[in-house]
Amino acid sequence: MSDIFDVLADGTRRELLRNLRERAGEVSVGQLVAELGISQPTVSKHLKVLRDHALVTVREEGQHRYYRLDAGPLEEVAGWLAPFATTPGAADAASRAGGAVSSGASAGGAYSAWAGAEYGDRVGRAVAETAHSARTAFEAAQEKLQGTQRRIAGRLPRRARRS
């Protein structure tokens, strides 16, 4: 789940998802470049990330690629966020944002409530920052452990090190 939040934390990827959702069909990379005013390599890079996380599907036709939103992973996110969005007053705020907030809500409605609300940015960033902090702490702990192992190995007699 944290990986999808890392993906959704990026504003360009959310804009691509929003554009694909509004189209409710296939969109070419060229159309996305023209509509979003972003370079083709940047659009392609972000679409690859979305594809790698199963948020979009791609159909190749010659040299052209056509992308379509895959709402399945977003339904999982909506289900995970639903308990947080059903706090007193949150359902009214989500309704004003244009979506339904309930465990039975459609993926499109729940996604638009999440994507359009300011707390979506904060949740995505907080999850991404937490995941990054956890990875950094884990890597630092691994480095300390390896350093300790090297120091201990250096203090052992040579015969003990060989076995």
Average pLDDT over residues 114-135: 64
Q: Tokens standing for 75?
A: 């339904």
Residue 136, in any domain of the structure: yes
Say if residue 11 is in the same domain as residue 25.
yes
Number of other CB atoms surrounding residue 81 within 10 Å: 20
List pLDDT tens digits, range 70-115. 888 888 888 888 888 765 555 555 555 444 444 444 444 555 544 5
pLDDT at 58: 92
pLDDT at 109: 52
Residue 162, in any domain of the structure: no
Residue 105, in any domain of the structure: yes
State if pTM tops 0.75.
no
Average pLDDT over residues 137-147: 82
Residue 163, in any domain of the structure: no
Per-residue confidence band for 5, with pLDDT thresholds at 50, 70 and 90? confident
pLDDT at 9: 86
pLDDT at 122: 65
Q: For position 56, which CATH number holds? A: 1.10.10.10
Tally the residues of the chain.
Answer: 163
Say if residue 58 is in the same domain as residue 77.
no
Find the helix or strand (DSSP H, E) in which 65 lies.
strand 64-69
Residue 144, in any domain of the structure: yes
Helix axes 107-116, 11-23, angle to 10 degrees: 140
List pLDDT tens digits, range 34-72. 988 889 999 999 999 999 999 999 999 998 899 999 888
Say if residue 59 is in the same domain as residue 32.
yes
- The residue segments making up the domain with residue 83 are 72-116
Cα separation, 59 vs 66, in Å, equals 5
Cα separation, 8 vs 120, in Å, equals 9
Say if residue 64 is in the same domain as residue 77.
no
pLDDT at 74: 83
Instruction: Give backbone dihedrals phi and psi of 98, rounded to 5 degrees, phi first.
Output: 105, 15
3 state DSSP class of 27: strand
Say if residue 89 is in the same domain as residue 129.
no
Q: Which residue has the higher pLDDT, 120 or 23?
A: 23
